[in-house]
């Protein structure tokens, strides 16, 4: 335990509630890997849905697959299962909360949460932060699955920050698509990407606002239930590695994307999946082989780098729930 931290805690203890002290101490606890497969529900968009089995988790559609399931199986996480996937392209949590137009029976995420048995509920906010439905879903999870974790992805910017989506615009009309192509991703240099990373962590920046909102949910729960999944950090670090020529088989940043909006190709899909595996199971993905492509001679070396980037990003995020 950090002794200076304990002194600081003692000095300010009069200003803290007992619940707040418990939450602060829990942030410094060593996180043991989770061995049991997690049953999860997703309220998501296209920068995240690919980690799971697709839009349907109905057992009638056959066994759930997807890259995260492959990693869990490789490490023997028995019981790993996507209970439900609610996918809305370019969405905010509020769109997911309102799905069904007031008929909660038509809302896949709400139905799954109220059925219970959920270990993890995932959200993938857009550029709006804080976002009211994060609190709404948080309180619903506390009510229906009090032992569940709420994992919230920090996603990379669409169009490298040069455009917006319907959800962010708050309009039913699609905003004009920006004049930004996939090849324009190659224009970002290391200084630019470092600027994006610094902006995320700046006082009052996106991550501070996200963490504060999630800490409010923790306070209402009386213990830590919310966690940040740092996918944006990992994607930006991968782009820097591409610029530096360190990613086997990848020559330029545009190789990581399918379009100007920022939908990722296989290396990005695998990277984000490793981030989610590390955060969900509190375990390093380094050494996993399930996503290595035997037809690609550069795949093995590349996957090792992607795994290390993912693990470093999760370790660096103070609300990932994972410490070395």
* Residue pair 271/306 in contact by the 8 Å Cβ criterion: yes
What pLDDT, on a 0 to 100 scale, did the predictor assign at position 83?
95
Residue-by-residue DSSP string for 14-73 = GGS-HHHHHHHHHTTSPPPPP-SPPEEEEEE-TTTGGGTT-S---GGG-S--SHHHHHHH
What pLDDT, on a 0 to 100 scale, did the predictor assign at position 19?
43
What pLDDT, on a 0 to 100 scale, did the predictor assign at position 54?
55
What pLDDT, on a 0 to 100 scale, did the predictor assign at position 128?
92
The backbone torsions φ and ψ at residue 41, rounded to the nearest 5 degrees and listed phi first, read -125, 135
- pTM for this prediction: 0.87
| Alpha carbon distance 56, 33 (integer Å) | 28
Mean pLDDT of 247-267: 97
Q: How many CB atoms lie within 10 A of CB 112?
A: 25
For the segment 65-76, what is each residue's pLDDT rounded down to a tens digit?
A: 799 999 999 999
Classify domain 19-316 by CATH number.
Answer: 3.40.50.1110
Q: Provide the pLDDT confidence category of residue 153 given band limits of 50, 70 and 90.
A: very high
Q: Name the more confident of 16 and 197.
A: 197
- C-alpha dist (Å) from residue 260 to 117, 183, 257: 39, 7, 7
| pLDDT above 50 for 7 | no
Burial bucket for residue 277 (CB in 10 Å: 0-12, 13-18, 19+): buried
For the segment 200-234, what is each residue's pLDDT rounded down to a tens digit?
A: 999 999 999 999 999 999 999 999 999 999 999 99
What pLDDT, on a 0 to 100 scale, did the predictor assign at position 163?
75
* Residue pair 290/72 in contact by the 8 Å Cβ criterion: no
């Amino acid at each position: 335990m950090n002794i200076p931290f304990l002194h600081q805690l003692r000095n300010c203890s009069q200003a803290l509630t007992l619940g707040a002290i418990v939450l602060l101490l829990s942030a410094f606890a060593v996180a043991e890997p989770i061995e049991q497969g997690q049953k999860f529900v997703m309220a998501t968009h296209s920068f995240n849905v690919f980690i799971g089995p697709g839009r349907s988790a109905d057992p009638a559609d056959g066994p759930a697959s997807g890259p995260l399931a492959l990693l869990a199986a490789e490490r023997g996480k028995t019981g790993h299962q996507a209970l439900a996937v609610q996918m809305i392209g370019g969405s905010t949590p509020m769109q997911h909360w309102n799905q069904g137009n007031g008929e909660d029976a038509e809302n896949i995420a709400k139905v799954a949460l109220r059925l219970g048995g959920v270990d993890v509920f995932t959200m993938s906010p857009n550029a709006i932060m804080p976002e009211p439905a994060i609190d709404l879903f948080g309180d619903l999870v506390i009510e229906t699955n009090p032992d569940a974790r709420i994992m919230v992805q920090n996603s990379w910017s669409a169009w490298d920050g040069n455009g917006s989506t319907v959800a962010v615009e708050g309009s039913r009309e699609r905003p004009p698509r920006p004049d930004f192509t996939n090849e324009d991703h190659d224009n970002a240099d290391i200084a630019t990407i470092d600027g994006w990373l610094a902006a995320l962590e700046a006082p009052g920046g996106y991550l501070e606002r996200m963490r504060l909102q999630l800490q409010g949910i923790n306070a209402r729960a009386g213990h830590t239930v919310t966690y940040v999944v740092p996918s944006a950090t990992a994607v930006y670090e991968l782009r820097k590695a591409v610029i530096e020529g360190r990613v086997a088989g990848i020559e330029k940043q545009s190789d990581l994307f399918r379009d100007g909006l920022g939908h990722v190709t296989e290396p990005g899909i695998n990277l984000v999946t490793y981030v989610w595996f590390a955060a969900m199971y509190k375990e390093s993905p380094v050494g996993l082989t399930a996503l290595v492509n035997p037809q690609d001679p550069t795949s093995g070396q590349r996957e090792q780098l992607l795994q290390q980037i993912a693990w470093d990003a999760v370790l660096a995020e103070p609300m990932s729930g994972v410490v070395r």
